[in-house]
Structure 1
Amino acid sequence: MMLDCVIVGGGPAGLNAALVLGRARRNVILFDNNFPRNAVTQESHGFITRDGIKPREFRELAHQDIAKYPSIMIRNEKIIDVKKTGMHFEVETEKGECIKGKKIILATGLKEIHPAIENIMDFYGKSLFSCPYCDGWELKDLPLMIISESHSAFHMAKTVYNWSKDLIVCTNGKKILTVEQKNMIQRKGIKIYEQKIKSLIGGNGSLEAVIFEDGEEVKRKGGFVTPEWIQATSFGQSLGCKTHELGGIITDQFGRTNIEGLYAAGDTSVIAPSQVIIAAAEGSRAAMGVNTDLSQDDFN
């Protein structure tokens, strides 16, 4: 059986793409390995009518919406290979099954690589976060820290300052800030710690202090981390997709990649800012691109 579209990835982008294509009466299958990047997140914010929703609840509600449309199938299986054969695509599941589709949407998202700091994951998603637009309100006016080993530390400091003026920047031994950037940050009363971090102190996910390798200890109640983001899968690379400087797959305004019939949506293409509402919108646009191209194919 040849499906209209195969969607790889069951996050907000993939789910919204499935919804739009289902409403367009397209035969679609969505593969979800049920291992979302935001699994540690307690609540999702910034999505109107869903502010504060738990990610698991969001996915359950999305599945309920999609269940109304009989042309959509959802499979909780991992895809191990994607290839283009002629004018269509084939995906192979971990069970060895081969599924064919005229079009394919990659919505596989990203993986986060965090700084190598002892027990950082004990606090990530509870009092340390990656996006101030998602979690800044909950940390407003608290003594906060930014942990960053990249040049995004400067931008993050300026952004987080909007939520708390009691702020420090920790580069974990990296010399990433220019003299000009340091001066600008320090004029705002933001202290910079360039020594390596030994460990984070706290309990039940609540940060209490950061201890540096030189023995200095600074009390903190939370903060933000700038992880390195990489593609969760190599499917786009193996298919020959072009990428931008941040590593995301380059698409047009309707999710089309440089490979005919292949689309990308959500964090797979946007990367930053990484928000549920943006990913969902990207999925919707990619689905419209798929439907438009399928309609054009029908008339050719």
Structure 2
Amino acid sequence: MVYDCAIIGGGPAGLNAALVLGRARRSIALIDNNRPRNAVTHASHGFITRDGITPSEFRRIAYEEVLRYPSVDHLQTEIVSVRKLESGFELLDSSDVRVQARKLILATGVKEIFPDIEGFYPLYGKSLFNCPYCDGWELRDQPLVVVSELPTFFHSAKLLFNWSKDLVVCTNGRAPLTDEQKKQLQAKGIVVMEQRIAAFVGQNGRLEHVRFADGTEIPRAGGFVIPRFVQSVPFAEQLGCETTPIGGIATDEWGQTHIPGLFVIGDAAYIGPSQLVLAAASGSRVAMRINTDLSDEEFE
């Protein structure tokens, strides 16, 4: 069987694309390895009618809705390679099973690379987070820390000030802030700490102190650690896709790469705020484009 479209990735982007294409009576292979990036998250926010939902419940409801459509096949497997055929794509999974499709959507997302700081992971998803739009409200008005080694640090610090005025920003010895930026932050009462961080200290998932390499400690109740994002799988590289300056896979406004029939949706394309609603919207938009392309081809 050759599917109309294969979708690699069962997050909100891939699920919404499958929903739209399933309703358009297209044959779909929705391929998911069941390892969602937001599994550590206790609640997802910012999606109207689903604000505060757990990621597992979101996936349960989404799959229940998508699989009502008989033309959508859910394949729980790990894709290990993808290649372009003359008239479509062939996917190979970890069991040497091959899947062919006329169109291919990569909804594979990204993975975070966090600064290597002792004590981070036991606190991550409980009192340390990476997205203020996802978790800023829950930490509002608390004494917070924001840690980043990236050039976007100043922007992150300004954003966090909206949720808490008791803010300490830490460069972890990487010094991405200019003197002018430090002056602007300090003028708002934001403390700037430029020494290297030795550890996050806390228990039962709750941050208590940030300990620096020089022995200094500051009490904090929570905070945000800004990661670097990279593509979670090598498929775009295997297929020869172009990338954006910030590491996303380059597409046009409809998610089409320069490779005919290959589309990218969600975080893998734009690497921005990781919001369910943004990812789902991109899946819906691109699915309509693919259905239009398939319809045009069938009339030619």
Alignment pair present for 1:267 and 2:270: no
Preserved CA contact (<8 Å) 1:7 1:30: yes
Deviation at 1:255, TM superposition (A): 1.1
1:36 corresponding residue in structure 2: 36
Aligned length: 300
2:195 match: 195
Contact 1:89 1:102 in 2 (8 A): yes
Q: Which residue of 2 aligns with 1:66?
A: 66
Following the alignment from structure 2 to structure 1, what is the Cα–Cα distance between the partners of residues 45 and 175? 33
Q: Which runs of 5+ in 1 are unaligned?
A: none
2:186 corresponds to: 186
The residue that corresponds to 2:291 in the other structure is 291
Partner of 1:251: 251
The 5-angstrom pairing of residues 119-138 of structure 1 reads 119-138=119-138
SS at 2:159's partner residue? helix
Task: Determine the C-alpha separation between the residues in 2 that align with 1:166 and 1:285.
Answer: 40
Structural mapping, 1:131-280, within 5 Å = 131-280=131-280
Name the CA distance, whole Å, in 2 between partners of 1:84 and 1:151: 36
Deviations 1:35-60 (CA, angstroms, capped at 9, x unpaired): 11111111000000000000000000
Q: 2:27: which partner in 1?
A: 27
Relative to the length of structure 2, the TM-score reads: 0.99
Q: What's the counterpart of residue 108 of structure 1?
A: 108
Instruction: Give the drift of 1:118.
Output: 0.6
Render the CA deviation track for 1:87-136: whole Å, top value 9, x for unaligned.
21000011100000000000000011100101211111111111111111
How far has the Cα of 1:175 moved from its partner?
Answer: 1.4
User: What is the TM-score with the length of structure 1 in the denominator?
Assistant: 0.99
SS of residue paired to 1:185: helix
Letter of the structure 2 residue corresponding to residue 119 of structure 1: G
Q: Secondary structure at the match of 2:82?
A: strand
State the AA in 1 paired with 2:154: F
Q: Please tell me the residue identity of whatever aligns with 2:5.
A: C
> Which whole-Å CA distance do the structure 2 matches of 1:288 and 1:254 have between them?
9
Distance 2:237 2:274 in 1: 21
Q: Percent identity?
A: 55
Quote the residue 1:45 is aligned against: 45
**In the TM superposition, what is the alpha-carbon distance from 1:286 to its structure 2 partner?**
1.4
Q: Which runs of 5+ in 2 are unaligned?
A: none
SS in 1 for 2:69: coil
3-state secondary structure, aligned to 2:298: helix
SS, match of residue 192 in structure 1: strand
Per-residue deviation, residues 209-263 of structure 1 (Å, max 9, x unmatched): 1000101000000111110100001101111111111110111222111110000
CA drift at 1:75: 1.3
Root mean square deviation, CA, Å: 0.7
